[in-house]
């Protein structure tokens, strides 16, 4: 992803303040290390997610403060891709006093405790992260950033006629007060670009989504 170059360019342009960025290595056992710490998925995946959370909260952050002599940060954010996004969301949601923002890129929010083919599968009850949000408290200071691309997935997981990643807001994800509607149509975009939807949610009572155009990787 060349984060070092991206951050250096932004810093040189005075687009961001000085930032301390940590990248955590993704091992081959990511389907067990990532996930939701309190609940396994229906295949028993995510068995080490609680250990991963403990590593971040009890080892990594204290190490950074000590090794780099940083007693505290102005604020902290956690972001990830795919299962890493699910894990980031789980960690931030369950440790709201330690973070301000979470970034979820193509998040695996399909993570569920029952096979969707089971007759009694319920979108509202069996998607783990969705249920955590629905049953949790509201933390006004937390801000959420979601991004997906139209090329990520086309399968209609819940058979509602809407490909789940056509918009970054998943109809089953009851985090926002109301589903934001994507702006723009695919027919409007210039040749050679793909439409990617982003939505951000803070403490306000309204939420929106905006479409951005970015070159398709060759």
Flag whether pLDDT at 38 surpasses 60.
yes
Among 26-40, 58-72, 107-121, 203-217, which is the least confidently predicted range?
Answer: 203-217
Is beta strand 143-149 parallel, antiparallel or unpaired with respect to 101-105?
parallel
For residue 77, pLDDT over 60 is answered with yes
Nearest to 147 by CA among 167, 119, 177, 127: 167
Sign of the CA dihedral 186, 187, 189, 191? Answer: positive
DSSP H helices, 60-213, are 61-67, 83-94, 123-126, 128-135
Answer whether 183's CB lies under 8 Å from 211's CB: yes
Closest of 195, 218, 199 to residue 210, by C-alpha:
199
Q: What is the mean pLDDT of the chain?
A: 77
pLDDT of residue 143: 92
pLDDT-derived band of residue 30, with 50, 70 and 90 as boundaries?
A: very high
pLDDT at 196 over 80: no
Q: How confident is the model at residue 187 (pLDDT cuts 50, 70, 90)?
A: very low
Q: Supply the pLDDT for residue 182.
A: 39
* Residue 210 or 37, more confident: 37
pLDDT, mean of residues 61-77: 91
Residue range 167-177: mean pLDDT, rounded: 39
Q: What is the pLDDT of residue 138?
A: 83
Cα Dmax for the chain:
55
pLDDT over 50 (residue 168): no
């Amino acid at each position: 992803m060349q984060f070092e170059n991206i951050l250096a360019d932004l810093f040189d342009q005075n687009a961001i303040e000085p930032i301390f960025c940590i990248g955590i290595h993704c091992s081959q056992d990511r389907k067990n290390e990532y996930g939701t710490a309190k609940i396994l998925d229906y295949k028993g995946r995510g068995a080490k997610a609680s250990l991963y959370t403990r590593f971040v909260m009890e080892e990594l952050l204290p190490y950074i403060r000590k090794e780099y002599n940083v007693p505290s940060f102005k604020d902290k954010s956690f972001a990830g891709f795919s299962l890493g996004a699910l894990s980031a969301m789980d960690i931030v949601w369950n440790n709201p006093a330690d973070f301000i923002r979470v970034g979820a890129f193509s998040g695996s929010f399909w993570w569920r405790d029952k096979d969707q083919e089971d007759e009694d599968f319920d979108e509202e009850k069996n998607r783990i992260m969705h249920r955590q949000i629905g049953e949790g408290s509201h933390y006004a200071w937390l801000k959420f950033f979601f991004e997906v691309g139209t090329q990520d997935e086309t399968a209609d997981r819940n058979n509602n006629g809407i490909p789940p990643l056509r918009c970054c807001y998943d109809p089953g994800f009851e985090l926002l007060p109301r589903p934001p509607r994507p702006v723009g149509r695919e027919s409007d975009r210039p040749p050679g670009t793909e439409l990617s939807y982003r939505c951000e949610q803070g403490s306000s009572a309204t939420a929106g989504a905006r479409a951005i155009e970015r070159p398709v990787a060759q």
